[in-house]
Structure 1
Amino acid sequence: MNTENRGAAQPPEPARGAGPGPAGAAPLVDPLAAVRAERDPAVDVYLTGTVFLDIIFTGLDSAPVRGTESWARGMGSSPGGVANMATALARLGLRTSLAAAFGDDHYGEYCWDALAQGEGIDLTPSRTVPGWHSPVTVSMAYEGERTMVSHGHEPPPGTAPPTPRCPPRTRAAVAALTPGEPAAWIAQAARLGTRIFADTGWDDTGRWDLAALPDLRYCEAFLPNAEEAMRYTGTDCPRAAAHALAERVPMAVVTLGADGAYAVDGGTGEAAEVPAIEVAALDPTGAGDVFVAGFVTGTLAGWPLADRLAFAGLTAALSVQEFGGSLSAPGWTEIAAWWRHVQRYDDQNPAALRRYAFLDGLLPGAGARSWPLRRAVPTIGFGRGT
């Protein structure tokens, strides 16, 4: 069975902008403008992984009950899986390249077009696999939580995009570490100067042994959630876990859910904590990916640690107010609208406003839309003539 390269889009132009819609329609903001040089890589961030079609039900009053039918007040669909991270990075103005396998069904075509044409993501390393159907996840959001059901098969042998010995020349790469499964490309990329940012998922083995994550040694930053960090370090406090992890990686960032995030610089000993922004959450799908994308953006731009945490938390908070994972990721238009909105109220905490004052130097010209923003509900779309 042969693979097909569908003529993926080339790496997007600098500062493609933000928000859904045709490439080029959004305001131009390049967070790396101050650090770009003539001989820099054409790609800012490389990712590889599995793209799912996400179907999201929202507005459920409770979890589905066995033997009953539940009706959701909202529904949408969007590319998911690694597409969440890729879209979040692209919408923040980073030139993003993704290596993934796509099914040749309607779901795969929709995901490919949404990422390449809608978001300007470089899919040159990706492949379409004939006869392979796209993995699908159904996500149900209720009471601030979510339940997911997924289905999919591994691509046939030899048909998935070959994992390169190293990614394209790039500033950074985001890797998902799996216990006991080292990825050779991570070590090769790190040796060539690529900055590796890593997160991880639940350890199904139950061992929670950092030695089972050998690629951690190549990572500049490790960004687990609080429960994962405590289990890996044997601590009962996420802040203590962050300090313990900082002995293993240059930067440890622990997300604290509704309490924000805490980070420790292993080289300098600097620690920073930023509280979460209170928002009305519609769907938390992909919020962790958006947080990582925000932190990567701030790091590559050379921002102070506290600003990076604040920005990552803000982008994650804005994302949960919309359907889905990838299509809910905010861009600079949404960020600018939020910043203008909160500054208009006299009862704002001055210290809290100062925490986000660094946005002033980034947002001029990022649009003048009012808050709250409402984007089109994501869907697979209608056929011609409807």
Structure 2
Amino acid sequence: MFDPLAAVRRPADPPVDVFLTGTVFLDIIFTGLDTAPVRGTESWARGMGSSPGGVANMATALARLGLRTSLAAAFGDDMYGDYCWDSLENGEGIDLSLSHRIPGWHSPVTVSMAYEGERTMVSHGHEPPPCGSVFLPEAAPGAPPPVRACIASLAPGRCEEWTAAAASRGARLFADVGWDESGRWDLASLRDLEHCEAFFPNAEEAMRYTRTDCPRLAARALADTVPLAVVTMGSEGAFAVDGGTGEIAEAPAVDVEALDPTGAGDVFVAGFVTGSLAGWPLADRLAFAGLTAALSVKEFGGSLSAPGWAEVAAWWQHVKAYNDQPAETLRRYAFLDALLPPAAPPLSPAGAAAPRQPRRAVPTIGFRRL
């Protein structure tokens, strides 16, 4: 596993790079739909996949980029919970020591239908028991263990005790956000934002929070409130403003053949956090985050579509060899030459183990292992 933080690690550093908490879903994804389902009819999808979803999307993306990731979440004690736990802990190497299994609680499920470059989701689940929301060690109540960074999922009116505690211990906080169901779009209602160094709304969310009609103007307005505003703009790429230095960066979207956009926003945040912890320039962080998000939409599902360094390197080698991207892309991603790990040596003689391939979403979760 390539370690993007190797150059900045010190013996006294925390053992965990990133901590996050949230709800893990079992995602069932249908792709290859020509249109949205029509009432009273039956639609057949040309593709299907299953994978852990929800907060697992971001946790998996972080782990596949080489960050030591700790996840605190509730897991049902059903087969879906078994599958998600095994996929994350054994398949991705994510630390689940702060996660718990909840007896009698079934796993939340989301069905995602991808068509016309967008997706529609239907979810079902119940809130876990009070002891199953965030699992923090008794030795450090109200805070995760020592970590480099935390990713907080903000919601209007909600204040999580652990975010302030983590920030007071020196952890760097990055803030994701979801749709404001209340419709008020009051930035002051995101109470934990004051502890965060970067904020990642999409274009629509950013414009609603700032009462502007342009995502770039929205990012500039947000930079008056948060140290770093990063606004994702879909097919237009991403735009960032550093509120402290005034630095501005923009990265165009990477052109790929999209299969399923589920989880792309989570992968974007993971890519940006990776570059931030490694100390890269703002423009490189933004471009890398956009690239990882673009590579993720080429595969089924959210978590198991996340790329690793092998996929990033393969894309870059292809771009340089075939020159099938705009010239600006070659210039923008030239930093990858110095960043990417050395190419793998040739395969050893027949009989040697093949390099480990990342898990991908498959139609079912119950194959017996022979």
TM-score by length of 2: 0.93
How many residues align structurally?
A: 356
Q: Pick from 250, 265, 278 the counterpart of residue 288 of structure 1.
A: 265
- Structure 2 counterpart of 1:250: 227
Residue number in structure 1 paired with 2:111: 138
Distance, in Å, in 2 between the alignment partners of 1:376 and 1:216 is: 34
The residue that corresponds to 1:236 in the other structure is 213
Is the contact made by 1:50 and 1:101 (CA closer than 8 Å) also made in structure 2? yes
Equivalent in the alignment of 1:114: 87
Q: Name the CA distance, whole Å, in 1 between partners of 2:211 and 2:360.
A: 44
Determine if contact 1:282/1:323 at 8 Å carries over to the other structure: yes
Rounded to whole Å, the distance in 1 between the matches of 2:260 and 2:325 is 26
Residue in structure 2 matched with residue 5 of structure 1 by the alignment = none
Identity %: 74
Mark the CA change 1:368 to 1:65 in structure 2 (over 3 Å): closer, same or farther.
Answer: farther
The alpha-carbon deviation at position 150 of structure 1 amounts to 0.3
Please give the alpha-carbon distance, in whole angstroms, between the structure 2 residues aligned to 1:346 and 1:268.
35
Q: Which amino acid is 1:336 matched to?
A: A
C-alpha separation in 1, matches of 2:324 and 2:78: 52
SS state of the match for residue 335, structure 2?
Answer: helix
Question: 340, 347, 362: which is aligned to 1:378?
Answer: 362
Q: CA deviation at 1:262?
A: 0.3
For the pair 1:322 / 2:295, whether they are aligned, the reply is no
Distance 1:385 1:87 in 2: 23
Query: Please, which runs of 5 or more residues in structure 1 have no aligned partner?
Result: 1-27
- TM-score normalized with structure 1 length: 0.89
CA distance in 2, matches of 1:368, 1:87: 26
Instruction: Quote the offset at 1:337 in angstroms.
Output: 0.4
Per the TM alignment, residue 358 of structure 1 is displaced from its structure 2 partner at its CA by 1.0
Q: What secondary structure, in the 3-state scheme, does the structure 2 residue paired with 1:327 have?
A: helix
**Partner in structure 2 of residue 211 of structure 1:** 188
**How much does 1:347 deviate?**
5.7
Partner of 1:356: 333
Match of 2:51 among 61, 65, 78: 78
Verify the 8 A CA contact 2:267 2:293 in the aligned structure 1: yes
Distance of 1:55 and 1:321 partners within structure 2: 16
CA distance in structure 2 between the partners assigned to 1:225 and 1:348 by the alignment: 25
Partners of 1:377 and 1:202 in 2: CA distance: 26
Distance 1:45 1:120 in 2: 13
Q: How does 1:1-386 map to 2 (within 5 A)?
A: 28-162=1-135, 164-346=141-323, 348-365=325-342, 367=344, 376-384=360-368
Task: Give the letter for the 2:126 counterpart.
Answer: H
CA 1:366–1:217 in 2, change beyond 3 Å: closer, same or farther? farther
Does structure 1 conserve the Cα–Cα contact (< 8 Å) formed by 2:22 and 2:133?
no
Q: Distance in 1 between matches of 2:157 and 2:337?
A: 44
CA-based RMSD of the aligned residues comes to 1.7
Between the aligned partners of 2:369 and 2:89, the Cα distance in structure 1 is: 24
Contact 1:58 1:75 in 2 (8 A): yes
User: Quick check: 1:332–1:366 contact (8 Å CA) kept in 2?
Assistant: no
Q: SS of the counterpart of 1:267? A: coil
Q: Which amino acid aligns with 2:157?
A: G
Q: Give the 3 Å change call, closer, same or farther, for CA 333–385 of structure 1 in structure 2.
A: closer
3-state secondary structure, aligned to 2:221:
helix
- Structure 1 residues 367, 326: CA separation in 2 closer, same or farther (over 3 Å shift)? farther
Task: Give the gaps of 5 or more residues in structure 2.
Answer: 347-356
* Matched-pair contact (CA < 8 Å) for 1:29–1:362: no
**How much does 1:360 deviate?**
1.1
